[in-house]
A and B are shown apart, each in its own frame.
Chain A
Amino acid sequence: MRKLPFQTILIANRGEIAVRIIKTLRGLGLRSAVVYHDADAGTPAVAMADTAIAISGRTPIAAYLDIPQIIAAAHKASADALHPGYGFLSENAEFARAVTKAGIAFIGPTPESIELMGDKIRARNFVQRNGFAVAPSIEEDDPATFTFRARTVGVPLLVKPSAGGGGKGMRIVRDLANLEDAIAQARSEAQRYFGDGRLYVERYVENPRHIEVQVLGDSFGNVVHLFERECSVQRRFQKVIEEAPSPALSPELRRRVCEAAAGIARAAKYQNAGTVEFIYGGGEFYFLEMNTRLQVEHSVTEMITGIDLVAQQIYVAAGRELGFSQSDIVSKGHAIEARLYAEAPERGYVPTTGKVLVLEYPDGDGIRIDSGVVQGQQITTAFDPMLAKIIVHSPTRNEAALKAHRAIGELVLLGCETNAHFLTRILRDEAFLSGHVHTGYLEENPHIASGEAASDLSAFLATAALLTRPVRESADAVPELHAALGSWRN
């Protein structure tokens, strides 16, 4: 195969995705460079990259959003291409343009595609114009009448920022009396996170399932899909468990949704990797939005198709034609990904912090760990609470769930509370195992988050007591005779 036109690729990201990208770069014989904020100095990506360049900002997040600094870093590293990862600047058209203008290849769609599909309102209009189904909605073209018009959508409804994603700033409204508050709060958060306070309101589908389709396009107009993923197990619009294929779809529905996704991408002349998200409920699906980047959960698609999506992104960015056609892509077995978060589902998912004192990942056939943390690292609230992804691949869904359950049980992370046990509770839950989940599943089953009401702590208390010096010493200090007499009284 012809040599790639790149030598060094700068990763404008952090955490597990930076590590994930470095792994592919190593496989392709490319040099990796990362930017990092001081708060990330001890993370594995910084240790693994061939070059690591420090960046700074008012907050750690701000550093990773600082376009001039990142481009300067790319030059400093002599990078000829840049991978934005997910989040941060990955769906920022201005950034994509600035990178290209700096003479560096942007590994992602064109700025035009980002602008078209990255803006929820424009994307919806575009998809609707091209004959695909979308849900009823109102957009904020006129703030003065927005609240009034929003009421016409009817409850339940969803208030969302026009920019951004990842659940930030979203509010469900079930009672119109709360609408104005919800809009005000969503606007404040949208302004802070995305610098864009515009909102839109759409009808909220009860018990919807979140199904998304991975697409890949090249600069020759070829577009393929890599089947769907289901990401219905969510808490506060944050995905917790993703899988492929979706247990909800019949072969016919699968064909229809995947072809619709490919059709939308084709209509948008989409290049590189992207994800078309759909809401599926009551036997129907309709377009939700398109993510013009690599997704967190891309790994489940890689597991069932055997295709390295990051490598494909680099090939496309290098101007290569896709090396396969739709019919070459085969889905095999079942993959499940569980996200390990630094949070306490038992206490309303509050984020947790701490130093990772012990970290041991499970291994075995069909188990893949994409981790962004190492032992000794301090977990802070400076960034997203995701620590790692545990991805498993098995012939069937049940076997995959069992394998994931076992793998998470074997995972040892001490020093920072995580959601590991919560993940295992989902993986052995009846509703999950029978495939009956929807995006409100965790809210409807609060016992999964809260955990067992009265679990037996004896073994833990015994261990702690035996490990605590004052406790052990006070037991040992008692003379043998008196210890033998116990709490005798006359």
Chain B
Amino acid sequence: MQRIASAADVKSHDFCLNELHNKRLAAELKERQRAARFNRPERDLERLRRQNKLFVRDRIEALLDPETPFLELSTLAANKAYDGEVPGAAQVVGIGIVSGREVIVHADDASVKGGAWYPLSVKKIVRALDIAIENRLPVVHLCDCAGGFLPLQAEFFADRYYAGRIFRNQSILSKMGVPQVAIAMGHCTAGGAYVPALSDYNIIVEGTGAIFLGGPPVVKAATGETVSVEELGGAHMHTSVSGTSDYFAHSEMHAIAIARDIVARFNRVTKASINRVAPEPPAYDASELYGILPRDPRVQFDMREIIARLVDGSRFHEYQPRYGESLVCGFARLYGYQIGLIANNGALLSDSALKGAHFIQLCDKNRTPLLFLQNITGFMVGREYERRGITKDGAKLIMAVSGASVPKFTVICNRSHGAGTFAMAGRAFDPRFMFSWPQSQISAMGAEQAAGVLTHVKARQLARAGGRLSEQDLAAIREPIVEEYRERSSAYYATSEIWDDGILDPVDTRNALAIVLSASLNTPIERPRYGVFRL
């Protein structure tokens, strides 16, 4: 495979300015993640200490095998919601190694609102369990949840993908033979009680762990019965009387040791076998990505420069290099695994859509997982393009993306708009994992363009009422529209709403993809099967 010859001039002024800009964005990301992980009111930390509980991050570190990676997902979930008071949506989710097994770790963060479930907490847990189902990953739940946040129950209780989905997903996992272990490290109340109950194995910590549908105050209110936490749902009772819990632990660390022992017993699944060779680091340094990504998101750049800094040896076997040039397709290796890359070098045209649809079918046939690198403003519009069947060809690409049986992964490198978002394996198309880079924007239309349309609509309404607008009036209408549109199309908003699985510092992308690629292979790859292509 040929090594990509980078055309980037790392000494150029432009490169340096880009680098400065993108490093600042990466630093801002790291700082926001740090704050979401660790900034807590002292009284909450003090309460944990008083209760003899470990901080959720320490629980996870103890659970994981030492010297192994942990890919945290949706760290900044809810960062734009609930006035920023529920960092991470009070949940920690990630992929890690426990007793040598790849697992999903799902932990309630009791240092945030006592681990209460907010609407986005529920969404994050459901997504974690969807990942477990799609990739057949065992789950370790570290339960410490005060219950649902009742004032917002309308947003997390009744609908199909609301709280009930957590328990449905747990049951499905069990049915699939994908084991779950739960540790009751704090109170598991109401719905939270079902997380350990629906896990194949559960452990309860003496003193702090408790499982019940209604806590003592609820019981008192409902039946007048006065009962202690320990009597109602403590470790002794559940392990010796009710049988709700399987293992009694003297401490959190003891519980973690038991959980590790349980996971160590899990059968090892044989991974889907795909083309693999010995890994090789990229020939170009990943940190050069900072200088390559333009500081102005509207500026076009060559995606091969990105590919050169992600894949093994920077080697890339490009497919149809002379056809449909706005979509770069080709084979490369990531930590030795062969992958098929589909990356945007401009708006999608008929030929690039056809090329993409064809390449996806090739990869599907030879069991090559797909990586989509998005920088797409959409499909080209206009009379000539419609006459040449741009919509028909776009439908072929969407049909191919939807139908592919191999695992798909998506990284929004810069922009993701319009039907391009769909055709490039957006969230709705079930890529196994989806990540964003800090500067990226995702929306139906670009902010400037959308603001133009919206301003035009508003101006027409006013004109109908007889008014006539000055340039100043138009600007006054336009500004807040642009502002709100920008805000809601930012990567931070997208990740807050869990439209992705997290924002990545570009230099972390290679490792993150390696981890999710390996995880995805726990599920067998089905034979290719497609719907009807509009030819």
Contact = CB atoms under 8 A, between A and B. Distances in A.
Given A477-B264, A490-B71, A490-B502, A485 B100 contact: no
Contacts of B9: none
A485 B68 CA distance: 7
B423 to A, nearest CB: 27
Q: Which of B71, B99, B511 has the most CB of A within 10 A?
A: B511
Given A474-B100, A477-B264, A489-B69, A484 B504 contact: no
Interface in B51-78: 65-72, 75
Interface stretch (B200-208, B311-319, B512-520): B512-520
Contact of A487 (B68, B75, B502, B514): B68
A251 interface: no
Contacts of B70: 488-489
A474 B99 contact: yes
B290 interface: no
Contacts of B67: 478, 483, 486-487
Given A486-B68, A490-B508, A479 B102 contact: yes
A481 interface: yes
Interface in B397-425: none
B232 interface: no
Given A488-B511, A490-B505, A490-B508, A482 B99 contact: no
Contacts of B505: 490
A478 B68 contact: yes
Nearest to B100: A477
A474 B511 CA distance: 22
A478 B518 CA distance: 13
Interface string B507-535: 01001101100100000000000000000
Q: Which of B100, B279, B504 has the most CB of A within 10 A?
A: B100
Interface in B297-346: 335
Contacts of A485: 68-69, 511, 514-515
Nearest to B66: A487
A42 to B, nearest CB: 38
Contacts, number: 61
A478 B70 CA distance: 13
Interface residues of B, number: 26
A487 B505 CA distance: 17
Contacts of A489: 69-70, 72
Contact of A490 (B68, B264, B511, B518): B511
B97 A482 contact: yes
A487 B69 contact: yes
Q: Which of B67, B75, B264, B518 has the most CB of A within 10 A?
A: B67
Contacts of A486: 67-69
Contacts of A488: 69-70, 511
Given A474-B100, A490-B508, A490-B512, A483 B72 contact: no
A17 B67 CA distance: 54
A379 to B, nearest CB: 34
Contacts of A474: 65, 99-100, 264
Contacts of B264: 474, 477
Contacts of A476: 100
B92 to A, nearest CB: 12
A486 B504 CA distance: 18
A253 B97 CA distance: 75
A421 B101 CA distance: 43
A471 to B, nearest CB: 11
A299 B511 CA distance: 69
A478 B514 contact: no
A490 B99 contact: no
Given A474-B99, A477-B99, A482-B69, A490 B504 contact: yes
B406 to A, nearest CB: 19
Contacts of A490: 71-72, 75, 502, 504-505, 508, 511-512
Contacts of B102: 479, 482
B50 to A, nearest CB: 29
A205 to B, nearest CB: 57
A180 to B, nearest CB: 49
Nearest to A489: B70
Interface string A446-490: 000000000000000000000000000010111101111111111
A483 B68 CA distance: 6
Interface string A325-359: 00000000000000000000000000000000000
B74 to A, nearest CB: 11
B500 to A, nearest CB: 13
Contacts of B69: 482, 485-489
B508 A478 contact: no
A189 to B, nearest CB: 44
Contacts of B65: 474, 477-478
A490 B74 CA distance: 11
B72 A479 contact: no
A161 B67 CA distance: 62
Nearest to B268: A477
A485 B100 CA distance: 14
Contacts of A478: 65, 67-68, 97, 100
B265 to A, nearest CB: 12
A483 B514 CA distance: 12
| 10 A-B pairs with the lowest CB-CB distances in the bound complex, closest first | A477-B100, A488-B69, A485-B69, A490-B508, A482-B68, A478-B100, A482-B97, A487-B67, A486-B67, A481-B518
Interface of B: 65-72, 75, 97, 99-102, 264, 279, 335, 502, 504-505, 508, 511-512, 514-515, 518
Given A479-B102, A485-B69, 4 more contacts: A483-B67, A490-B75, A490-B502, A490-B512
26 contacts: A474-B65, A474-B100, A474-B264, A476-B100, A477-B99, A478-B65, A478-B68, A478-B97, A478-B100, A479-B518, A481-B279, A481-B515, A482-B68, A482-B97, A482-B102, A482-B518, A485-B515, A486-B67, A486-B69, A487-B67, A487-B68, A488-B70, A489-B70, A489-B72, A490-B71, A490-B504
